[in-house]
Amino acid sequence: MKAYGKNIRISPKKLRVVAEIIRGQSVEKALSFLKFAPKKWAGILYKIVFSAVSNAENNDSQKSSDLFISTISIDKWIVYKRSNPVSRWRAHKILKRTSNIILELQVK
């Protein structure tokens, strides 16, 4: 039972902070944490976990109370390059990072 989030416009470093907390937890506990977490990207992880639970219930006939998050990996993806003009005809780089999320659930 897997769910994917592709080309998400948030740095992988920021997503990994929240992902470390929910790794290995039961699905109900992870969803309740993500719903009220003070980070803005917790909402994105909430949607992906909810999608994985829905896939497990509909496709594999699993109960959500028996599931836990076995693996969650956040990988670096495309980096959009922008520039910020500064004095003397120069420019500073701005890197807009994106990430991929792979979430896998297992039965207890």
How many angstroms separate the CA atoms of 82 and 108, rounded? 46
| Position 108 confidence tier, pLDDT thresholds 50, 70, 90 | confident
* 74, 5 contact by CB (below 8 A): no
Average pLDDT taken over every residue of the chain: 95
Structure tokens at 91: 């420019």
| CATH placement of domain 2-107 | 3.90.470.10
What is the per-residue pLDDT for 103?
96
Domain residue limits, the chain: 2-107
Is residue 23's pLDDT more than 90? yes
Is residue 40's pLDDT more than 90? no
Is residue 5's pLDDT more than 90? yes
How many angstroms separate the CA atoms of 9 and 101, rounded? 11
How many angstroms separate the CA atoms of 95 and 44, rounded? 21
* 43, 5 contact by CB (below 8 A): no
What's the first-to-final CA gap in the chain, in angstroms? 13
Mean per-residue pLDDT for 82-95?
97
List pLDDT tens digits, range 45-83: 999 999 999 999 999 999 999 999 999 999 999 999 999
User: Distance from CA of residue 46 to its chain's centroid?
Assistant: 8
What is the per-residue pLDDT for 1?
87
